Structure 1
Amino acid sequence: MKIILTGATGFVGTEVLRQALQDPEIERVVVLGRKSVGTAHPKLHEVVLKSFLDYAPAADQLNADACIWCLGVSQTAVSRDEYIEITYGYAVAALEAMLQANPGVRFCFLSGRGAEQEERASTLYGKIKGRTERELSRLSPNVFNFRPAFIKPAYPGQKRPFAPTAFLPLAWVVDKFTDDFSVDAATLARALLDVAKHGAQEKIILNRALRHWTPQGASRAS
Structure 2
Amino acid sequence: MKIKAIITGATGMVGEGVLLECLNHPDVEQILVINRKPGGVTHPKLKEIIHKDMFDLSPIESQLAGYNACFFCLGISSVGISEADYKHITYDLTVNAGQLLAKLNPDMTMCYVTGAGTDSTEKGRVAWARVKGATENELIRLFKNAYMFRPGFMKATPGQKNVKSFYKYIAWLYPIGRLVYPAGFCTLQEVGLAMINVVSKGYRQQIIDVKDIVELAKS
What TM-score do you get using the length of structure 2 for normalisation? 0.89
Which residue, out of 70, 73, 76, partners 2:76?
73
Q: CA deviation at 1:114?
A: 0.4
State how 1:1-222 maps to structure 2 within 5 Å: 1-63=3-65, 64-76=67-79, 78-155=81-158, 160-216=163-219
Deviates more, 1:151-160 or 1:46-55: 151-160
Secondary structure at the counterpart of residue 145 of structure 1 = strand
Q: C-alpha separation between the residues in 2 aligned to 1:165 and 1:41?
A: 27
Q: C-alpha separation between the residues in 1 aligned to 2:12 and 2:112?
A: 14
5+ residue gaps, structure 2, are none
2:198–2:216 contact (8 Å) kept in structure 1: no
* Residues 39, 165 of structure 1: alpha-carbon distance in 2 compared, 3 angstrom cutoff: closer
Deviates more, 1:20-29 or 1:86-95: 20-29
| Equivalent AA in structure 2 for residue 165 of structure 1 | K
1:54–1:93 contact (8 Å) kept in structure 2: yes
| Equivalent AA in structure 1 for residue 53 of structure 2 | S
Secondary structure at the counterpart of residue 28 of structure 2 = coil
Residue-pair matches, total:
216
What TM-score do you get using the length of structure 1 for normalisation? 0.88
Q: CA deviation at 1:196?
A: 3.0
| Equivalent AA in structure 1 for residue 28 of structure 2 | I
Q: CA deviation at 1:69?
A: 0.3
Q: C-alpha separation between the residues in 2 aligned to 1:125 and 1:165?
A: 24
Q: CA deviation at 1:28?
A: 1.2
1:179–1:211 contact (8 Å) kept in structure 2: no
Q: CA deviation at 1:159?
A: 5.5
Q: CA deviation at 1:215?
A: 4.8
Q: C-alpha separation between the residues in 2 aligned to 1:45 and 1:156?
A: 21
Q: CA deviation at 1:26?
A: 1.9
5+ residue gaps, structure 1, are 217-222
| Equivalent AA in structure 2 for residue 126 of structure 1 | A
Q: CA deviation at 1:117?
A: 1.3
2:17–2:188 contact (8 Å) kept in structure 1: yes
Secondary structure at the counterpart of residue 211 of structure 2 = helix
1:129-181 C-alpha deviation (Å, 9 max, x unpaired): 11100111122221100111111222388653333333333342232123212
% identical aligned pairs: 31
| Equivalent AA in structure 2 for residue 101 of structure 1 | L
